[in-house]
Structure 1
Amino acid sequence: MAVLSKIRERSMFLIIIIGLALFAFVLDPSTLGDFFNSNKVNEIGEVNGESISRQEFADELESYKQQRGGRVSEMQAVKAVWNNILRQKIYKNQLEEAGISVGEADVWKELINVPSVKNNPQYLNEAGLFDESKFKQFLADTKENNPQLWSAWSNYMNQIKTNTERNAYDNLINAGLGASLKEGEADYFINNTKLNTQFIFIPYSSIVDSLVNVTKSDIANYIKENEADFKVDESRDISYVKFDITATPEDEAAIKDEVSKLLEDSIDRNKQTVVGLKNATNYKEFLNENDSDINLDENFKFKKDISNVISEKVFAGSKGDVFGPYKDKGFFKISKITEISKMPDSVKASHILIPFVGSQAANNETTKTEAQAKKTVDSIFNLVKRNKAKYTEIANEVNPDGTKGKGGDIGWVNYTAAFSPNFDADFANYMFNNKKGDINVVKTKFGFHIIRIDDQKNAQKVVKLVTFGRKIVASEATENAVFQKAEQFALELSKERRFTEVSKENKYLIRPAVGLKVLDENVPGLGNQRQIVSWAFGANTKVGTFKRFDLEGSHIVAIVSSKVDKGLSPVNKASARVKPILKNRKKAEIIRAKLNGNTLQEIANSNNTAIKTGTNVTLKSPTLSGAGSEPKIVGAMYNAELNKVYKGIEGNRGVYAFVVTKKELPTALPNYEASRKRIAQSRKGLNYRIFESIKKATEVKDYRANMYVSN
């Protein structure tokens, strides 16, 4: 009965939908199929009518994310893959129109010339030369027996084909981007012709703003006249109030007290002794059992590595001394000295490395087992332990890393770098726990090393410090109070009270996020918050719609304050950009009316100003003394007749009247090859701009929002 009831409730809705579809059919029968057709649901976009399916896009997206190893966000990957697919399809169309095709033979030629293929020992013959048949056999075996590896090779070959197609098109474009000697000659004369001029400059700032009025219709007309400059994508503006969940002084006091109790032994509810940090010996167990928010660090610490809150006391203390609780970097901590020693802060060392199969330094040439490598390294050790020249000679001969050719020298390494995740701990321990001149065999994850300590510096006191830490966070009661505050704010808005009004009453700071695009994920002031952007573009989200979001460490109440559809920029959005332009235009009209007179002197007298002089002015450096950079004015001067008065010319900063008194051409050159080469070189970097121009001329339909926006 419940199902029938739901059907009855929605029957009118279904009737309306079907009625709209039939009405659309009467107007245009082709729309009926589109109305019920689900094909668009399975498309992510179109390029010149060619569909990009969701499956194609998803496969490319997954492949890209795997290549990047999780180093990009979802939306970064989406944008990169979309651009890659657009580029591929646009290039494909252009190549087809140009009659260029890239076949299997072209791809194969590129593939076998890849260094990692051509120089791979697996594909070389007895003479050490690349053997095509061996490589073909490898690919055939891979296709037959290893689908996963074959998939990787197939993707690689497809990438080679894509790159080859792109290079073919780019080369075609580059062939037409040269320059002639005639162009070189013209460029030389244009840029080096010197002008002497007299001019009058009336700045726009001389007319007060109150004398000109720029209306909304003026701005709208300007936008229509310059459509190409004001095309915009769909966007949203939101405003939000942030309610941070932060620990109160009471919360901090409670955490400090809790940490303080862990210094001394205590008795639990079962009347068992709970060992405090002062008497603890198993420090890993102590940190784990008491839920420390800081892991055990067993490295020695120099004074500079310890919080300045306790560093003086620590380095004046003895083994077993405890410190705290103290506040440091968002934690309350207690610490204990477990060991004191003396150690250099930097060590200079060399090594000879013998890798074995399975070690991280192993490569295609590594054949020794671990036992064989140990036997080899021991034999070498006996040769080099007292012979520096022999050490250098063998290191340069056998080392498989960047120290080959340097006598095995790894240079100076400081303690922090040595005991970081990027360095091998066994190697580091030997360097810093032995003395200058010591040499020995050490096994690491890279293989067997003969490590020699060449030098050490800045030996000083160091300590091992066990530190328990509790992160300073808000209590549950504080979290609840902040939640209630955010919820109450949202409740007030639901009573149709204005966002600004309620915020002002409660003294809440309103923060704007302007110009969010449909696939953005970053919200200014909040970081990566894709969920908020997705909501702002949702089908049911309108201007004035608000919502509370629960984020990590805060609650947000956001409202959509403005909505811009794809097309021409709205007047209010373009106003800041267009208004100064139109103001200067209207001021120019007022200034022109004041430029009375037939000579510069008459014009200067009528405007109570002086004539300025420009000497050796060039188009290459279009600066006028007392006026600044004015390329449009200098361009007009270059094409002006000598000794003729020109007036009412608009520049960047004002309106000009001028006379060109002299035009001095540069000395003719025997040839203009240098200018020609410079022009040709400057055009080599235009491939990207040419592609962008082609993309603008391509019919692209983007449906990604349907996949990544809340509905």
Structure 2
Amino acid sequence: MAILSKIREKTFALILIIGLALFSFVIGDAFNNNGGGAKVNTIGEVNGEDISREEFANLVEAYKANTGSSSNTQAMNYAWNQMVSDKIYNDQLEKAGVVVGEEDVWNSIISLPFFNQNPQFQNEGGLFDAERAKEYIANMKDDAIGAAPGTAPYNAWQNWLRTEADIRQNLKRTAYNNLVGAGLSASLKEGENDYSFNNNKVTSKFVYVPYTSIADSLIVITDAEKNAYIKENAKKYQVEASRDINYVSFNVVASEEDKNAIKETVASFIEDDENYGIKGLKNSTNAQEFLDESKSDLPNDTSFKFQNATPAVIADDIFNGKEGDVFGPYEHNGFFKISKINAFKQMPDSVKSRHIIIPFAGTNRSTSTLTKEAAKKKADSVYNLVRRSSTKFAEVADEINTDGTKGKGGDIGWVTKAQAFSPNFDIDFAEYLFNNKKGTVKVVETKFGFHVIKIDDQTTYQKAVQLTTLAREITPSEQTESEFYLEAETFASDIANGDDVYTLVKDKGYVLAPAIGLKILDEYVPGIGGNQRPIVNWTFNSETSVGDVRRFDVERGYVVAVLAAKTPKGLVPAANVITEIRPILVNRKKAELIADKMNGSTLEEIASSAGTNVRTAASVTLASPTISGVGAEPSIVGAMMGAKEGEVHNNIAGAKGVFAIQVTSVEEAPALPNYDVARTRIQNSLKLRTNQIFNSLKSAYEIEDYRGETY
């Protein structure tokens, strides 16, 4: 099951493309004939304009290749958002008569330092030659034709396409935002008004009856009122279609009998097998050959480890042992293992270093157009220039580097051995740092390009050990898996035959877990490891009804899921947001009840009828809309600012209660020589809202998303 899960993850890009092709082929006639549902070759629409399935699939694949660690959903969401925003910006720019052409993109590219300063694109006089650059790009495209994904030519071309696309997208956004920003200005009079409105001080008498004066238990909120409120605020309470499930996990684990059998098998590899003439670990002289013949479940680890990185169960024995000693079998991290001491070595725990990086086309996170040969030649030249001078090293690093060490003289800082040999660190870089002495400078090739690395400092050397370790994963036997399968299948069958799921769970001692609000494109179900698209797809299948049950194979065993609820696209059910809307509706009703007893034409009459007193709020400002003895009340302070002196305003609902107010005086803020600061603040605030501008644009478009019908 674990293997199948990994295969599913690794082949997503292939499945995506094949799935799109099959989907189009199989149902093409149906869509073409009846005119309903998603179009054959589109993954969505923006105002009726198609978003190409093929372009979408290519962008998903490119994003996953570039990031290397994104999930399928992240890649699809990135591609979708990118293509939707492209359509919207293209439409807006077309309406405005603004065109971002290929020449604009090219001019932006050749203005980038990494491009126009590349020696490959310079003529004999050291000046940028556009024709050389165009020829290089054309050759890169030719090399990529027919190249397999993951190869250097393929990666180089995909990186280039991504760079072009990003630049084009940025140009569109910038052009549109600049266009809109030109109209987002503020006058000095607006600055003056804003300054006065926020800094004028008002003193007002008021009557205040808090909502807490009426017990919540006296207020009844009907379902009709809840639904009416949601309809009043329909834009806020729109939701995607979702599904709720309850599920029971059957995690298949090895029995004690299984574990004992695995332990005995591992122990059998310590001594020689005389029947087959195979050397055991104790007498083996070739670690890799031994592990291959014994079919170890973990690869040969030739690194040296400190005692704290050695399995605790044998660490003390190993560091008190000698070369050739064998330990185990012992259980560690889900495996039974035997280990042999190959060698001891003194190593530093941490290394401080700096580097200069020269990437080339096809290396990770690189948009470089240098060939590998040209990059190596440049790295060697840099090495000869900086190897004897720390000052020169720092100067060149700040000039060349484009990563986080730029401006720091290439300083990487201290790296512990554990960090260096973790999956997040490049192994070639790590090997160099911990196998060379302080002061060493060398050119090292990694997956990021060529580095000129200088070791600045090292901590005190400690004893480390190199082991040969044979490992067998502790996995359940076929018999154990069959028993779990039968248990899960029986549970699902009992529910399907009408037994109550809650009664069954209680009787069998199972744990029933909920997964609420699954969306149509989700790939993970909370509490269940791995990609669970099959479960999500099942919940959204038109033939699956509430109460239906199904067993699924998952990475760790089986899951039996029951569809608990379906929420259609549209307004959210009141029950889902009751904790949010009930206090609002309760206070609304309380405000009506309070208003009935706040009668009179003067504050004194109103206070008398409400059984309270007239109070005073002195020198209140909108910049700090707090009323003494009440708390923050921005809407009430706003009402005070807008009221005329002497006028009585009754039944104003605030955040904490109902008010009647009467402004007694207004103290205007001191006049300023000019209001340019206030005007500039307003203008800058408007121009920083580019994200809001796009969201506003997006809400005005009709966007159809068909992804859920394919994946």
The code of the aligned residue for 1:82 comes to W
Match of 1:548 in 2: 551
The code of the aligned residue for 1:488 comes to T
Match of 1:519 in 2: 521
Alignment of 1:666-685 (within 5 A): 666-685=669-688
The code of the aligned residue for 1:509 comes to V
Q: Does 1:342 align with 2:346?
A: yes
Corresponding residue SS for 1:509? coil
Q: Does 1:460 align with 2:467?
A: no
Q: Of 653, 662, 666, which aligns to 1:663? A: 666
By how many angstroms is 1:491 displaced? 0.5
Whole-angstrom distance in 1 between the partners of 2:436 and 2:91: 67
Moved more, 688-697 or 290-299: 290-299
Match of 1:234 in 2: 241
Whole-angstrom distance in 1 between the partners of 2:38 and 2:356: 64
Mark the CA change 1:540 to 1:462 in structure 2 (over 3 Å): closer, same or farther: same
Match of 2:489 in 1: 487
Deviations 1:300-324 (A, max 9, x none): 2222222333333333333344433
The code of the aligned residue for 1:97 comes to K
Match of 2:6 in 1: none
Match of 2:188 in 1: 181
Mark the CA change 1:248 to 1:665 in structure 2 (over 3 Å): closer, same or farther: farther
Match of 2:287 in 1: 283
By how many angstroms is 1:669 displaced? 0.5
The code of the aligned residue for 1:467 comes to T
Match of 2:90 in 1: 92
The code of the aligned residue for 1:485 comes to E
Whole-angstrom distance in 1 between the partners of 2:31 and 2:141: 47
Deviations 1:256-311 (A, max 9, x none): 44444444x2656xx34654444443333333333333332222222222233333
The number of aligned residues is: 664
Which is higher, the Rg of structure 1 or of structure 2? 1
Whole-angstrom distance in 1 between the partners of 2:566 and 2:221: 24
Matched-pair contact (CA < 8 Å) for 2:140–2:157: no
Match of 1:11 in 2: none
Mark the CA change 1:325 to 1:90 in structure 2 (over 3 Å): closer, same or farther: same
Mark the CA change 1:595 to 1:475 in structure 2 (over 3 Å): closer, same or farther: farther
Q: Of 561, 565, 580, which aligns to 1:577? A: 580
Q: Does 1:76 align with 2:113?
A: no
Corresponding residue SS for 1:222? helix
Corresponding residue SS for 1:523? coil
Matched-pair contact (CA < 8 Å) for 1:352–1:394: no
By how many angstroms is 1:487 displaced? 0.5
Matched-pair contact (CA < 8 Å) for 2:604–2:614: yes
The code of the aligned residue for 2:497 comes to K
The code of the aligned residue for 2:313 comes to V
Whole-angstrom distance in 2 between the partners of 1:332 and 1:198: 80
Match of 2:116 in 1: 118
Match of 1:191 in 2: 198
Mark the CA change 1:649 to 1:253 in structure 2 (over 3 Å): closer, same or farther: farther
By how many angstroms is 1:449 displaced? 10
The code of the aligned residue for 1:232 comes to V
Q: Of 307, 329, 332, which aligns to 1:325? A: 329
State the percentage of identical aligned residues.
47
The code of the aligned residue for 1:300 comes to F
Match of 2:46 in 1: 47
By how many angstroms is 1:46 displaced? 2.3
Match of 1:27 in 2: none
User: Which sections of structure 2, spanning at least 5 residues, go unmatched?
Assistant: 1-29, 147-152
Match of 2:8 in 1: none
Mark the CA change 1:201 to 1:396 in structure 2 (over 3 Å): closer, same or farther: closer
Whole-angstrom distance in 1 between the partners of 2:355 and 2:700: 60
Corresponding residue SS for 1:301? coil
By how many angstroms is 1:532 displaced? 1.3
Corresponding residue SS for 2:679? helix
Corresponding residue SS for 2:220? coil
Match of 2:306 in 1: 302
Whole-angstrom distance in 2 between the partners of 1:64 and 1:452: 34
Q: Does 1:701 align with 2:699?
A: no
Moved more, 89-98 or 636-645: 636-645
Whole-angstrom distance in 2 between the partners of 1:71 and 1:423: 14
Q: Does 1:504 align with 2:501?
A: no
Mark the CA change 1:450 to 1:175 in structure 2 (over 3 Å): closer, same or farther: closer
Match of 2:12 in 1: none
Moved more, 427-436 or 552-561: 427-436
Corresponding residue SS for 1:288? helix
By how many angstroms is 1:521 displaced? 1.7
Mark the CA change 1:610 to 1:78 in structure 2 (over 3 Å): closer, same or farther: same
Moved more, 683-692 or 420-429: 420-429
Corresponding residue SS for 2:588? helix
Mark the CA change 1:353 to 1:659 in structure 2 (over 3 Å): closer, same or farther: closer
Deviations 1:328-361 (A, max 9, x none): 3333333333323433323457899999999999
Whole-angstrom distance in 1 between the partners of 2:422 and 2:546: 51
Moved more, 216-225 or 415-424: 415-424
Whole-angstrom distance in 1 between the partners of 2:320 and 2:283: 20
The code of the aligned residue for 1:72 comes to S
Whole-angstrom distance in 2 between the partners of 1:87 and 1:353: 35
The code of the aligned residue for 2:500 comes to R
Matched-pair contact (CA < 8 Å) for 1:604–1:611: yes
Whole-angstrom distance in 2 between the partners of 1:353 and 1:220: 61
Alignment of 1:466-481 (within 5 A): 466-481=468-483
By how many angstroms is 1:583 displaced? 1.6
Match of 2:221 in 1: 214
> TM-score normalised to the size of structure 2?
0.79
The code of the aligned residue for 1:244 comes to N
Whole-angstrom distance in 1 between the partners of 2:626 and 2:585: 24
Moved more, 414-423 or 552-561: 414-423
The code of the aligned residue for 1:294 comes to L
> TM-score normalised to the size of structure 1?
0.79
Whole-angstrom distance in 1 between the partners of 2:543 and 2:707: 18
By how many angstroms is 1:501 displaced? 3.6
By how many angstroms is 1:675 displaced? 1.0
Corresponding residue SS for 1:522? coil
Matched-pair contact (CA < 8 Å) for 2:360–2:370: no
Mark the CA change 1:490 to 1:136 in structure 2 (over 3 Å): closer, same or farther: closer
Deviations 1:203-260 (A, max 9, x none): 3333223211111111122222222222222222222221111234444444344444
Mark the CA change 1:214 to 1:347 in structure 2 (over 3 Å): closer, same or farther: closer
Matched-pair contact (CA < 8 Å) for 1:427–1:442: no
Moved more, 614-623 or 415-424: 415-424
Match of 1:128 in 2: 126
The code of the aligned residue for 2:293 comes to E
Q: RMSD of the alignment, in Å? A: 4.5
Whole-angstrom distance in 1 between the partners of 2:451 and 2:607: 86
The code of the aligned residue for 2:493 comes to L
Match of 1:24 in 2: none
Match of 1:590 in 2: 593
Deviations 1:389-422 (A, max 9, x none): x555775798897599999987655434555677
Whole-angstrom distance in 1 between the partners of 2:452 and 2:106: 45
Whole-angstrom distance in 2 between the partners of 1:121 and 1:82: 37
Moved more, 639-648 or 619-628: 639-648
Mark the CA change 1:625 to 1:482 in structure 2 (over 3 Å): closer, same or farther: farther
Matched-pair contact (CA < 8 Å) for 2:300–2:469: yes
Deviations 1:463-519 (A, max 9, x none): 223333333333333222221111111101111233334333333222222222222
Moved more, 622-631 or 129-138: 129-138
Matched-pair contact (CA < 8 Å) for 1:325–1:334: yes
The code of the aligned residue for 1:493 comes to I
By how many angstroms is 1:672 displaced? 0.8
Corresponding residue SS for 2:225? helix
Whole-angstrom distance in 2 between the partners of 1:302 and 1:86: 52
